Amino acid sequence: MSAPTGTSPLLRADTLCMNFGGIMAVKDFSFHIDAGETVGLIGPNGAGKTTCFNMLTGFYSPSNGRVLFKGQDITNRKPHAIARLGLVRSFQKTNVMKRLTVFENVLTGHYMAGRQSLLATFFPGEKVRRAEREARESAAEIVETMGLSHRMNAPANLLSCGELRLLEVAVALAAKPSLLMLDEPAAGLNSHEATTFGAVLKTLVGRSIDALLIVEHNMELVMSVSDRIVVLNFGRKLAEGKPGEILENREVAEAYLGKAAA
Ligand code: ATP
């Protein structure tokens, strides 16, 4: 974790647009995330959340607009270069290897994000051995942070759904993000598991990461972990505010439920 410089936001997106063959999936989307914040990005199906995620992290080149991370313009950089700057995302598809243990998965996450050369891996000097020790200590610490110490040596295929979701976040943390972006991290969790998951997420900012952006359909979870909520609808920002304000916003209710029901 590295502190951002000055008072500018950690991440800033200015008037992002994404045009898919004439369909405007995202239109003039601007927002920011400050260090210390957890921001929830919500919206009905097809609102443009994943498209925004992909533009912020270099998987899509925006048709217009720009993205600044720690003051640097990262708009058309490659995803791995953006990840190295400390902006790390998860995917809706799992990043866990089922036959490896919890600890091995997190350690693998560390190496995937690492900069160690293959030569150094096969002919390790003292520097590499020290890095190896530090990686193992860091992996054990991340497992503990995610509340999985008791499952440290369990193969991932024996984990419950709740534990698996926690491990997915642990693997992402192994890349040492400054800003972690989670795309539907609580998919498939029952309400008890989601509560446990949310409680762990709340401990991350300031401890393991500088800020968290979460896209999530589980409203109870996203409202309980977020300091601020940004609502997308038809590719545009519909509302932004504290969870309580968003819950009382009539336009947001209409976007989710339809006018009559709202
Ligand atoms: P969900 O909550 O269902 O995951 P979302 O808010 O993440 O939805 P997106 O997946 O970003 O929404 O999709 C926004 C719009 O852009 C949708 O109309 C979708 O069909 C369209 N879209 C997304 N990706 C592409 C693509 N690669 N090519 C063409 N259209 C796309």
Report the nearest-CA residue for atom 11 of ligand 1: 48
Say how many Å lie between the CA of residue 24 and the centre of ligand 1: 10
Say how many Å lie between the CA of residue 23 and the centre of ligand 1: 10
Which of 19, 20, 236 is the pocket-test mutation for ligand 1 (most atoms within 8 Å of CB)?
20
Pocket of ligand 1 (CB under 6 A): 20, 23, 25, 43, 45-51
Say how many Å lie between the CA of residue 47 and the centre of ligand 1: 7
The residues near 32 (Cβ < 8 Å, ≥ 6 apart) are 9, 10, 11, 12, 13
| Confidence at residue 237, expressed as pLDDT on a 0 to 100 scale | 97
pTM for the full predicted model: 0.90
For residue 112, count other CB atoms closer than 10 A to its CB: 12
| Domains in the chain: boundaries | 11-257
| Confidence at residue 130, expressed as pLDDT on a 0 to 100 scale | 83
Q: Are 57 and 87 contacting, i.e. CB atoms less than 8 angstroms apart?
A: yes
The residues near 24 (Cβ < 8 Å, ≥ 6 apart) are 17, 18, 235
Report the nearest-CA residue for atom 14 of ligand 1: 48
Given a cut of 50, the residues of the chain with pLDDT beneath it are 2-5
| Confidence at residue 2, expressed as pLDDT on a 0 to 100 scale | 46
| Confidence at residue 206, expressed as pLDDT on a 0 to 100 scale | 95
Report the nearest-CA residue for atom 19 of ligand 1: 46
Q: Are 35 and 177 contacting, i.e. CB atoms less than 8 angstroms apart?
A: no
| Confidence at residue 126, expressed as pLDDT on a 0 to 100 scale | 78
Say how many Å lie between the CA of residue 49 and the centre of ligand 1: 8
**pLDDT tens column, 3-42:** 444 578 999 999 999 999 989 999 999 999 999 999 999 9
| Confidence at residue 155, expressed as pLDDT on a 0 to 100 scale | 97
Say how many Å lie between the CA of residue 254 and the centre of ligand 1: 20
> Can you give 139-180 as a three-state secondary structure string?
HHHHHHHCCCHHHCCCEHHHCCHHHHHHHHHHHHHCCCCCEE
**pLDDT tens column, 33-72:** 999 999 999 999 999 999 999 999 999 999 999 999 999 9
- The answer regarding whether domain 11-257 maps to CATH 3.40.50.300 reads yes
